[in-house]
Amino acid sequence: MKRLSLLFFLILSGGLFGQDKPTIELLLGHSVGSEFSRHHQVLSYYEGLHNFFPEETTIFKYGETNEGRDLILFFLGSKSVISNLDQIQKKHLNRDTSLSIPIVWLSYNVHGNESSATEASMETAFKLLTEHSDWLNEALVIIDPCLNPDGRDRYVNFYKQYETTQENMDPSSIEHREPWPGGRFNHYLFDLNRDWAWLTQVESQQRIKVYNKWMPHVHVDFHEQGYNEPYYFPPAAEPYHDIITDWQREFQERIGKNHAKYFDEKGWLYFSKEIFDLLYPSYGDTYPMYNGAIGMTYEQAGSGRAGKSVRTTNGDTLTLRDRVMHHVTTGLSTVEVSVLNKKDLVQEYFDFNQKRDYKFNHYILRGNQQRLKKLKDLLFKHDIDFTQIKTSKSIKAWSFNTGIMEELSLAQGDALVVSTSQIKGPMVQVLFEPKTVISDSLTYDITAWSLPYAYGLEAYGFNGDLELMSPIITKINQAVLSNCYAYLCTWDAMNSASFLQSILTQNITVKVAEKAFMIDGKDFPVGTLVIPRGLNQATSDFDQVLKIAALEAGVHIMPVASGYVSKGKDFGSSSYKEINLPKVGILSGGDLSPLNTGEIWHFLERELNMPFRMFRITELNRRANIGDLDVIVLPEGELSTPQLEKLKEWIDNGGRLLVFGDGAYNFTQDFEVSVKDIESDYSASEREELSSLITGAIFKCELIEKPNPLLYGYTSYYSLRQSASNFSLNNGESVLSLSANPQAVSGFVGYKAKEHQSSAMILGKEDYGKGSIIYFCDNPLFRGFWEHGKLLVANAIYFGYD
């Protein structure tokens, strides 16, 4: 880490090593809590602390953010502990019961504008080394000072831009009001605290690699909440996932009581057992829990509204120093309790996956090979083992699709098998279980996420013996024929869309089959890409371009010698429509959702490698030239009347607008979309309001019977529904919808919401003038993990024509 900094200057001048004892001010340049520290200052601080304690600490860089900022871990222990890190790691991962020290991992600032956390990490590390070094004889502490440096620096730079020399505590002042999108999110505007399980973001992917190499006994995620709230620490609220053990529950009580002791001494307010539950598996507390650790969230008042000081609603002043001290206190208390309970922590971690009574011994998955590969890639990142069938066998297994036992014939190498009889068996159960058991419907997040539905795979649960083998690695051997008439590519996964985008940008002419056909004894469905040589004479390296693009996208293209088909229409027919490279824009800012904007941005850039124009919604009122765009994507959120009028004009002239989620409300006037909402009861309690809600439930959809370009590649679909709003089209096509009497296959649905879901539109299209509007009433790009929904968006971009 080479940077010109205060630390570097002090080393050169002898001002650092000339000191007998370090001080935070010497290492950081200011006291913790007096200023916000930019990320480079935080890194320099930890380098300096390591230089003062070279035998008790070590720094490990585990990655970089999208914007090039370092991601580091700071290891603390006694000289003996640090000198034996490899041995400790090996013993722990090999489940050696002679291991005598717990591993405590403290994670800070996963949300960038929850800014006291990183500051607290520095003081916590300092105090452990200077005031509590005896604990480091009996524990290994790992500190991740900032999980989201891009978001944090976005916030810190904003605050420093507007802070005044005399602190303004007025919460309505500009330094207490971040501009869109705020510092909470990472570069792509994803919430990294919802990404532990799905690993869509580079920060999560890099962190989970090193996390799985240490698998701590205790993991704490330090957060902030509204600036008027008391401090939160465990025990957590219900619901707890039923995979969580009595020991894990009981240890949270031990932690909470110890924290309470220190907070009571200071007269600090706090609460526990409310709001923050342990169900959704992709948090920084639940993911460790489901892997055997004690996972916990700590919430300090503050967040992006607090600045360095803010006046609360009761007239008190909350300072950055206050926030830091609360987090430092719970961080130190966590290490203390872990040391006092080290024997139990180590033993209970080893026992976590033992003597489990799982619903199924094996999850058997079949279907599209490209989506199966993406699931395998996710499992591999989590160190979850998977196998394949070794010996052919007929069994009876529980079908995810029908919900009943079915006869199933298995052939060698036929299916992917994920078994619960492995170290990560509890995590397998959580990620694959078809229906989440919910002990309390008042939850903080979605209540369903089953991976077979998310990946659109045929899945079965089975209890019994199977003869299994290691997965067969199949490599795509892409043949090219320099004299073939055309190449064909089936359209059935996002790999096909990536391939299409690649060759379109290389000026390859491509057609899409609007009717099914047969050639060379093989059936090809609607949506198949047809790439005729005769239309690509200008591309001299035509075969090589296609081969490279196919290999990079992971698709197989089939050469055919003739355009004459045995069934269906020949390739010269008007049933094959040429695909144009679309010009795409994304609206952003204003009252639009940063999260949904980021999901769309990430999808276009990382999934499709598609150039696009992102522009602020306010520019619609002024200078934005959108006439050359073919497609505009509108994230969830609200438009003003002038903004809507500008879009109406563009659509009327032939534009195609993709509308996500509650963005459809903008079009209930002057358009064909209508909505039935449940009447609000403003006197209802929070729990009574649940009757009108859907908190992330999975529903099976009905597909329109006639072939539709929006459904190319689909024969079935399960939607992750997060709203009870029932949209419909008065004049248009509801391409995907719920049944007349829909039943959620998993997740919580309030009784009023359930009665309100009949025939609800999930995906629909409305013609408007020369253009069209495509409504995604359920967001198929939600958090980037609903893999089977992504092709719907690609269809709307490439094929959503009239």
State the pLDDT at residue 299. Answer: 98
For the CA atoms of the chain, what is the radius of gyration? 28
Strand partners, 142: 75, 105
First to last CA, the chain: 55
| Phi, psi of 294, rounded to the nearest 5 degrees | -95, 105
Tokens 């869309």 belong to which residue? 497
* Residue 6 confidence class, pLDDT cut points 50, 70, 90: very low
State the pLDDT at residue 623. Answer: 61
The DSSP call for residue 580 is P
What is d(CA 444, CA 543) in angstroms, rounded to the nearest whole number?
A: 52
State the pLDDT at residue 239. Answer: 95
* Residue 11 confidence class, pLDDT cut points 50, 70, 90: very low
Q: What is the DSSP string of 219-270?
A: EEEEEEE-TTSPEE-SSPEEEEPTTS-HHHHHHHHHHHHHHHHHHHHHT--E
Across 453-467, 614-628, 635-649, least confident range: 614-628
Q: What is the pLDDT of residues 318-347, one digit of tens each?
A: 999 999 999 999 999 999 999 999 999 999
| Phi, psi of 531, rounded to the nearest 5 degrees | -120, 90
Q: What is the pLDDT of residues 168-186, one digit of tens each?
A: 999 999 999 999 999 999 9
Angle at 198 between CA 632 and CA 387, to 5 degrees: 125
State the pLDDT at residue 440. Answer: 87
State the pLDDT at residue 680. Answer: 76
Taking a C-beta distance cutoff of 8 angstroms, is the pair 727, 673 a contact? yes
State the pLDDT at residue 3. Answer: 41
State the pLDDT at residue 41. Answer: 98
Q: What is the pLDDT of residues 520-562, one digit of tens each?
A: 999 999 999 999 999 999 999 999 999 999 999 999 999 999 9
Task: Break the chain down into helix, strand, coil percent, rounded to 5.
Answer: 35, 20, 45
Please determine, for residue 85, whether its predicted confidence score (pLDDT) is greater than 50: yes
Please determine, for residue 8, whether its predicted confidence score (pLDDT) is greater than 70: no
What is d(CA 49, CA 24) in angstroms, rounded to the nearest whole number?
A: 9
State the pLDDT at residue 390. Answer: 93
Q: What is the pLDDT of residues 430-477, one digit of tens each?
A: 999 999 999 888 898 999 999 999 999 999 999 999 999 998 777 777
Across 126-135, 280-289, 348-357, least confident range: 348-357
State which H helix or E strand residue 80 sits in: helix 79-83
Compute the average pLDDT of residues 296-305: 97
Q: What is the pLDDT of residues 738-784, one digit of tens each?
A: 999 999 999 999 999 999 999 999 999 999 999 999 999 999 999 99
* Residue 54 confidence class, pLDDT cut points 50, 70, 90: very high
State the pLDDT at residue 485. Answer: 97
Angle at 481 between CA 477 and CA 486, to 5 degrees: 105
What is d(CA 26, CA 621) in angstroms, rounded to the nearest whole number?
A: 51
Task: Report the 10 Å Cβ neighbour count for 94.
Answer: 8
Q: Alpha helices, DSSP H only, in 94-148?
A: 116-130
3-state secondary structure of 741: coil
State the pLDDT at residue 19. Answer: 61
b/e for 71-84, b at 16 or more Cβ within 10 A?
A: bbbbbbbbeebbeb
What is d(CA 35, CA 321) in angstroms, rounded to the nearest whole number?
A: 9
State the pLDDT at residue 67. Answer: 98
State which H helix or E strand residue 104 sits in: strand 103-108
Q: Which of 303, 306, 230 is nearest to 269 (CA)?
A: 230
Strands 631-634 and 673-676, sheet pairing: unpaired
Mean predicted lDDT score pLDDT of the chain: 94
Compute the average pLDDT of residues 76-92: 97
Across 241-250, 579-588, 671-680, 785-794, least confident range: 671-680
Taking a C-beta distance cutoff of 8 angstroms, is the pair 408, 417 a contact? no
Please determine, for residue 619, whether its predicted confidence score (pLDDT) is greater than 70: yes
Name, in order, each residue with C-beta under 8 angstroms of 713's C-beta and a sequence gap of 6 or more. Answer: 491, 492, 493, 496, 527, 791, 795
Q: What is the pLDDT of residues 374-388, one digit of tens each?
A: 999 999 999 999 999
Compute the average pLDDT of residues 71-92: 97
Across 76-90, 602-616, 673-687, least confident range: 673-687
- Using a pLDDT cut of 90, give the percent of the chain over it: 88
Q: What is the pTM for the complete model shown?
A: 0.95
Q: Which of 491, 490, 466, 476 is nearest to 416 (CA)?
A: 466
Taking a C-beta distance cutoff of 8 angstroms, is the pair 381, 205 a contact? yes
Please determine, for residue 14, whether its predicted confidence score (pLDDT) is greater than 60: no
Please determine, for residue 33, whether its predicted confidence score (pLDDT) is greater than 90: yes
Please determine, for residue 7, whether its predicted confidence score (pLDDT) is greater than 70: no
Name, in order, each residue with C-beta under 8 angstroms of 159's C-beta and a sequence gap of 6 or more. Answer: 36, 115, 175, 307, 308
Angle at 547 between CA 545 and CA 551, to 5 degrees: 120
